[in-house]
Structure 1
Amino acid sequence: METEGPPRKRPRNDTNESDEPDTKGADAAVPEIEDITPPTRDETYYRADGDCVIRVEDVLFKVHRFLLVRDSAVFRDMFSMPQGSEEPSQITTDEDPVVLHDDVDDFRALCWGVYALPTEYMEQADESKVDIDIIACLYLIAQKYQFESHEKYARDLLKSHCTNVKDKPAAIKEFFIRKCPSTCLASLLKISLLADDPHIDSSLASALQKAWLFRLQARPDSSPSYAISVAENLGLRKFMGELYYHHMISSIPDQMEDSEVYERPDEDLEPHQRLPFYQGYMSLQLYWSDFMKGSRRKFKCPHGCNRVWTEFWPRFKLDLVGYHFDPRTSMNAFLKNIIKANKETYLETNISCITTYINDRIKEFDTNLADHFLGPVPSQPPIEID
């Protein structure tokens, strides 16, 4: 069966700077008479030799029934169900199609998935050729209709292409930064949790969370409010901590005119999200104050760690003057600079105690970040056995 490449897609309405889901205004005009424009035939997947007409939105598809039922229990059941008292029809027409309440781009991606040639499948593994929009749509609809092999294919590709998004080709970065609506990202994240362990760093869910953070970093005027709500609803506590932290370090309030007071940095957050934001900011300030007392730290080792630490610490504190509050970046910079200074000044003295200490503090910071904003996870009471 021949195909004409990935289907053409409608432009997505997510070009505004907000990362909030698109909604229609309450005052939008409602037409008095419903639009009765007849559906149009899809240019690629209304096939003359097809035996099943399906309507999605205002588009008609004519495809081969066996391609839908061979890998989908949902479609097998759908086509075997009688309509009322009649036996299930084996023929559908333009006037009497099967109606599916899906996004037309998603169904078009499914058609691509069942008709694509092996070479087209292989091209999607190539970062320079992949149509990431098609793969995302295919993953969503394949999961809904239980196309298990197509779902696995799309999931593996998504995991590959959205891992380390910042290092990917421009087309992939543009998809995650601009083209993919935030609601689509939420759907991808939600269904990825059904197949993945979100605590495994290599999982698709983990890669999607990092891609969402990259999206927010690349769009400094966008709000993390919707992403925080999604993370909260999905129980992704660590992701919530990362989102609050991103908002904290990227929010640089302006000083009010003729005043020493600064504007509030939480205007883009929902009311119930502001308390955790302020709680985290205060907790991290105290955490950093404690870290900065490190000049008094003594290392019990036979190497030159104490000498390097004592001499380098004042330089580190001086480097922080004028920098925006960002403990994670500051600790990583400190580790990098002290290693560099040791090589240049101290002829590569063994400072393993220092590097181990700073690395442990960074890991501890990453592990407990969400606790600063959300409070520690309550410990489970012991189970009483009668």
Structure 2
Amino acid sequence: MMSVSSPEAAPTRDPTYYIADGNTVLQVENTLFKVHRSMLIKDKSTFDSMFSLDAYTQNTEDALMATNSEGESDENPIRLHGDKAEEFSALMWSLYSLPAEIAYSMSLQANDLQLIHLARIAHKYQFRSTEIWALSALTTYHSNAGGSPSVQNLVQITELSILCDCKALLGAAVAKWKRLLGEGRAVAVAIGVAERLNLRSLLGLAYYSMMLKGRDVWDSDPQLNARQRIRLLSGHYNLIKLCEELPSCPPRLTHDHSCVRKGKCKNAFAALWKIILTTKEGGLVGQVLKVQSADLPAKVMLAESIIRAFAEGNIPAIDLSESGEIHEKCLQIALQATQDKVKEVQENLVDWFSDVV
């Protein structure tokens, strides 16, 4: 027996933006909007050129053929394909809202999803000032420590920042991702987003965060694919090797011009670096450095904090045997070199997670 498909439901009028004295009907998905054409052509949007072309076409055709022009009735609306009703509703909200409603959207109680919809459709139809304003409102909201979007919204915000080339919003979004990763949340989602959008720094941190969870988690997480699991294995192996070599590879030290010890300071710093990063029982930080064998970022950050304590006099000088003490100004340079090492490890973390074990 042949099945009969049910007829498509008739479109319904939007409860807010089907305006009685509007003069243009548009259909987005299965929703009808009736608004004022003068509002749609604001900001020299795409609608401005579209309606100008309509007017030219109608003026050059026979008048009898234009008795029921597109957009003049529910039966013959202007159909916007590829848009969502909630996005078009957000655009109408921006065009018809009162100043108090607009001001509210800049507060911590803002509806970030509405702003996402607005920025995306404003970008598509070239409402330039509206797009800039919506992106600014989103950046302000998400730069605030109190703004806490859902993971789904954060994905959309990150995609939007790339679509609109908004570096400020991207920075705010990445900061939110880093907070989630620090809490061990949405790690596989972050890997997927960072790979798809080619966000290098976020991708390295996401792989690193997943690596720390352990292989049992990698193998059981349904959001990770085989290639991503290979990259995790590769990263784990590479970082273990780097950590093994780390005590013998101190950051490069350049001497202060007032230092007369020259090579001795370099040797003293190398000795101090090795003592700090010795993880064998009985080493200086053997009891402090309780981190995973592959946790390179944690190890260099710990080294930086200890060298800072030496430089600020919070830890007394230690006996570096034949190397002697490090000149005071050279110690400050050593601290800066260690801070640069921390930054280098963080920025290049993704390089160690290759596709080949």
TM-score above 0.5: yes
| Contact 2:239 2:295 (C-alpha < 8 Å) held by counterparts | no
* Structure 2 segments unaligned to the other structure (5+ residues): 278-282, 318-326
- Secondary structure of the residue aligned to 1:125 is coil
Which residue matches 1:248? Answer: 211
Give, in angstroms, the shift of residue 43 of structure 1.
2.2
Which residue matches 1:339? Answer: 308
Which residue matches 1:95? Answer: 75
* 2:132 is aligned with 1:117: no
Q: Which amino acid aligns with 1:269?
A: L
* 2:110 is aligned with 1:130: yes
Give, in angstroms, the shift of residue 151 of structure 1.
0.7
TM-score, normalised via structure 1 length: 0.68
* CA shift digits 1:294-339 (9 cap, x unpaired): 6899986568975876775533343123557432233223323443
- Secondary structure of the residue aligned to 1:44 is strand
Q: Give 1 or 2: higher helix fraction.
A: 2
Rounded to whole Å, the distance in 2 between the matches of 1:67 and 1:245 is 49
Give, in angstroms, the shift of residue 107 of structure 1.
1.0
Which residue matches 1:180? Answer: 153
- Secondary structure of the residue aligned to 2:75 is coil
Q: Which amino acid aligns with 1:52?
A: T
Which residue matches 1:8? Answer: none
Rounded to whole Å, the distance in 2 between the matches of 1:50 and 1:141 is 21
Rounded to whole Å, the distance in 2 between the matches of 1:52 and 1:159 is 33
* 2:19 is aligned with 1:37: no
Q: Which amino acid aligns with 2:91?
A: L
Q: When the two structures are aligned, how many residues end up with a matched partner? A: 318
Q: How does 1:167-206 map to 2 (within 5 A)?
A: 168-169=145-146, 172-173=147-148, 175-177=149-151, 180=153, 182=155, 184-185=156-157, 187-192=159-164, 195-196=165-166, 203-206=168-171
Rounded to whole Å, the distance in 2 between the matches of 1:324 and 1:135 is 44
Which residue matches 2:33? Answer: 61
Which residue matches 2:324? Answer: none
Rounded to whole Å, the distance in 1 between the matches of 2:187 and 2:136 is 29
TM-score, normalised via structure 2 length: 0.73
Rounded to whole Å, the distance in 2 between the matches of 1:234 and 1:158 is 19
- Which of 106, 128, 136 in structure 2 is aligned with 1:148? 128
RMSD (CA atoms): 3.7
Which residue matches 2:231? Answer: 276
Q: How does 1:1-386 map to 2 (within 5 A)?
A: 33-34=5-6, 36-79=8-51, 80-81=53-54, 86-87=65-66, 89=69, 92-101=72-81, 102-126=83-107, 128-163=108-143, 168-169=145-146, 172-173=147-148, 175-177=149-151, 180=153, 182=155, 184-185=156-157, 187-192=159-164, 195-196=165-166, 203-215=168-180, 217-218=182-183, 220=185, 223-224=188-189, 227-249=190-212, 251-254=213-216, 264=219, 268-293=223-248, 306=269, 314-321=283-290, 323=292, 325-340=294-309, 343-346=313-316, 350=328, 351-374=331-354
Give, in angstroms, the shift of residue 236 of structure 1.
3.5
- Secondary structure of the residue aligned to 1:319 is coil
| Contact 1:176 1:211 (C-alpha < 8 Å) held by counterparts | no
Give, in angstroms, the shift of residue 147 of structure 1.
0.7
- Secondary structure of the residue aligned to 1:37 is coil
Rounded to whole Å, the distance in 1 between the matches of 2:222 and 2:17 is 47
| Contact 1:266 1:274 (C-alpha < 8 Å) held by counterparts | no
- Percent of aligned pairs with the same amino acid: 28
Rounded to whole Å, the distance in 2 between the matches of 1:168 and 1:140 is 24
Give, in angstroms, the shift of residue 136 of structure 1.
1.0
- Secondary structure of the residue aligned to 1:42 is strand
* CA shift digits 1:194-242 (9 cap, x unpaired): x34xxxxx53333333434444555636523xx5455444443444323
| Contact 2:32 2:74 (C-alpha < 8 Å) held by counterparts | yes
| Contact 1:231 1:237 (C-alpha < 8 Å) held by counterparts | yes
| Contact 1:309 1:354 (C-alpha < 8 Å) held by counterparts | no
- Secondary structure of the residue aligned to 1:89 is coil
Give, in angstroms, the shift of residue 152 of structure 1.
0.8
Give, in angstroms, the shift of residue 109 of structure 1.
0.8
Rounded to whole Å, the distance in 2 between the matches of 1:143 and 1:117 is 22
Rounded to whole Å, the distance in 2 between the matches of 1:326 and 1:292 is 14
